[in-house]
Amino acid sequence: MVMGVGGRRGLIVIVIAIAGFLVIAVVVIAMWVAGIIMAIETNQTGVARITALIGGITTVGRR
């Protein structure tokens, strides 16, 4: 079964690719949360920015 993926090297490459994707996803989510916190702290455009961020998420989710 492992040989169907290209041996151990192929399996390692797949695992590294998945790990890299997960790291990028965690960084993006952390930056998004930091953006919301900053918007709430400044409170000048807080509601508009939070609405835009949530709207962006729902738009991406519909694709």
CA gap 11, 13 in Å, rounded? 5
Q: 13 in a domain, yes or no?
A: no
pLDDT computed for residue 24 by the predictor = 94
At how many degrees (to 10) do helices 46-61 and 7-42 cross? 150
Tell me: the pLDDT tens digits for 17-52? 999 999 999 999 888 888 877 777 776 655 676 777
Q: 36 in a domain, yes or no?
A: yes
Other residues' Cβ atoms within 10 Å of the Cβ of residue 39? 19
Q: How many domains does the chain contain in total?
A: 1
Other residues' Cβ atoms within 10 Å of the Cβ of residue 3? 9
Segments forming the whole domain that contains residue 58: 21-63
CA gap 17, 1 in Å, rounded? 19
Q: 2 in a domain, yes or no?
A: no
Whether residue 7 has pLDDT greater than 80: no
